[in-house]
Copies of this chain bind each other. A is one copy, B any other.
Amino acid sequence: MIVVMKPGATPEQVQHVVALVQDFGLKEHVISGTDRTVVACIGDKRTVDKGAIENAPMVERVVPILSPYKMASTEVKATKTEIAIGPAGFPMGGRRIGVIAGPCSVESREGFLRVAELAARAGCVGLRGGVYKPRTSPYSFQGLREKGFDVLVEARKLTGLAIVSEATGVEELAALVEVADVIQIGARNMQHYPLLEAAGKVNKPVLLKRGPSAMLEEWLLAAEYIINGGNRQVMLCERGIRTFEDYVRNTLPLAVVPELLERTHLPVLVDPSHGTGHSHLVPAMCRAAVAAGADGLLLEVHLDPEHALSDGAQSITPAALEEVMASLRKIAAAVGREA
């Protein structure tokens, strides 16, 4: 942590900051520059509220130096984490790109099983399907809830795909863990700490989506909550951020992929469906995500997007999925991987 004093700070004011720094159990190092004095602080600073010092007289600002996350970081674990998902134990984070596809929500047994078969045939390794749906409006379709469980299990039996499904609250987690292979924590819950802590106690991989306005560090700290709770099987999934752009539902910032690959050992997935919000943009962004280095994709596929009960605009058809998968195989090869 570096404390920058305002120009004109007196020796007493600098000394006051030094005393605060020592209160926090850190060692200070005062550097007097041409225009300003800065106080560099040495020690493990992860638990200190840096804001506290900002309030001292004549402090201009406090610059944190240490990344606040630890166990998610390549500083602590340099080798890539591979996470085995589903009955087949597909290694997410390995050489092969793992594509997880399926409808936003399970709407009917027949429809879901049909999508499952087509996804498996197209080469996907996971099947997404929400039974608990977090919906912006209380008047929208909220999912089949527990009534959807049997269909999830049946789809896995039928196809061998890993079932990926979202828990929208702590109270749903225990039951969902019994039927799903991967627990999804959605963008709106990225900072719902009771859920993160509960996810740290389960023995299933967790797919953690980035919140639409989450800083990179906040996202990694959310992963840290889960790991810190005892569950090291965390996958990150970028699904777009909220910006001023209006031709997309979210802006998909793909540079996050190479940045994460450098900062963390966790597998990195991309969701081009939420990441764009429009099916005509999805195939190109699938290709771009894999070219950028993503370990996997999360895709919304619906038999009849025009009649989907949720996320119809961003769902592609099984036929489009097949084309996407074919092109991904080429892109993956171009970057030395498989799909």
A165 within 8 A of B: no
A313 in the interface, Cβ–Cβ < 8 Å? yes
Chain B residues, Cβ within 8 Å of A330: 333-335
B2 and A63: CB pair below 8 A? yes
Q: Is the interface of A mostly helix, strand, loop or mixed?
A: mixed
**Given A308-B51, A312-B55, CB of A243 within 8 Å of CB of B247:** no
CA distance A193 to B191 in the complex (A): 13
Residues of B within 8 A of A309 (CB): 49
Say yes or no: is A276 at the interface (Cβ < 8 Å to chain B). Answer: yes
Q: Are A33 and B38 in contact (CB under 8 A)?
A: no
Q: Are B288 and A291 in contact (CB under 8 A)?
A: yes
- Beyond A213-B213, A285-B255, whether A225 also contacts B38 by CB under 8 A is no
- Write the A149-181 contact mask toward B (1 if CB under 8 angstroms, else 0): 000000000000000000011111000000000
Q: Is A88 on the interface with B (CB-CB < 8 A)? A: no
Q: A284-B293, A285-B258 are in contact. Are A36 and B66 (CB under 8 A)?
A: yes
CA distance A296 to B245 in the complex (A): 22
B170 touches A138 (CB 8 A): no
Give chain B residues whose Cβ lies under 8 Å from the Cβ of A7: 75
Q: Among A89-97, A119-127, A129-137, which stretch is in contact with chain B?
A: A129-137
Within 8 A of B (CB), among A220-279: 221, 224-225, 228-229, 241-248, 251-259, 262, 275-276, 278-279
B306 near A20: Cβ-Cβ < 8 Å: yes
Q: Does A184 contact B (CB under 8 A)?
A: no
Known: A53-B306, A66-B36, A244-B215. A285 touches B327 (CB 8 A): no
Q: A110: CB under 8 A from chain B? A: no
Q: Is A87 positioned at the interface, with any CB of B under 8 Å from its CB?
A: no
| Interface status of A4 (Cβ within 8 A of chain B) | yes
Q: Can you spell out 10 A-B residue pairs with CB atoms less than 8 angstroms apart?
A: A2-B40, A51-B314, A55-B315, A168-B193, A215-B245, A243-B251, A247-B256, A255-B281, A258-B285, A331-B335
Q: A46-B137, A138-B228 are in contact. List 18 more A-B contacts (CB 8 A).
A: A2-B2, A4-B65, A7-B75, A36-B65, A40-B40, A55-B279, A136-B191, A136-B221, A137-B224, A212-B213, A215-B244, A242-B244, A251-B251, A285-B292, A287-B292, A287-B334, A288-B291, A291-B292
